[in-house]
A and B are shown apart, each in its own frame.
Chain A
Amino acid sequence: MSDAPLKSYEFRREREPAWRELETLLAKAERSDVRRLPAADLARLPVLHRAALSSLSVARAISLDRNVVAYLEGLCVRAYGVVYAARRPVFEAVGAFLRVRFPRAVRANGGPLLLAVLATILGTGAGWALCAADSERYYAFVPYELAGGRDPAATTSFLRDMLYRNEHGAGALAFFASFLFQHNTQVGILCFALGFLAGLPTFLLLFSNGLMLGALAWLYDSRGLSLDLWGWLLPHGVPELTAIMICGGAGLVVARHLLFPGRLGRLESLSVHGREAGVLVMGAILLLFAAGLIEGVFRQTVTSVPVRYAVAASGFAFVGWWLGFCGRERRT
Chain B
Amino acid sequence: MGQHQQTQVAAAQAAAPGLEAVEFEPLSRGALIARGALGAAALYGAVAAGPLVRRAFAQSSGGDIEILNFALTLEYLEAAFYDKALAEVDLSSETKEFAQTILDDENEHVAALAKTIKSLGGKAVAAPMVKFPFSDEAAFLELAQTFEDTGVSAYDGAAPMLESKELLATAGSIVQVEARHAARVRLARNEQPAPNAFDPTLTQAQVLKAVKPFIQA
Q: Do A and B interact with each other, yes or no?
A: no
Residues of B within 8 A of A (CB): none
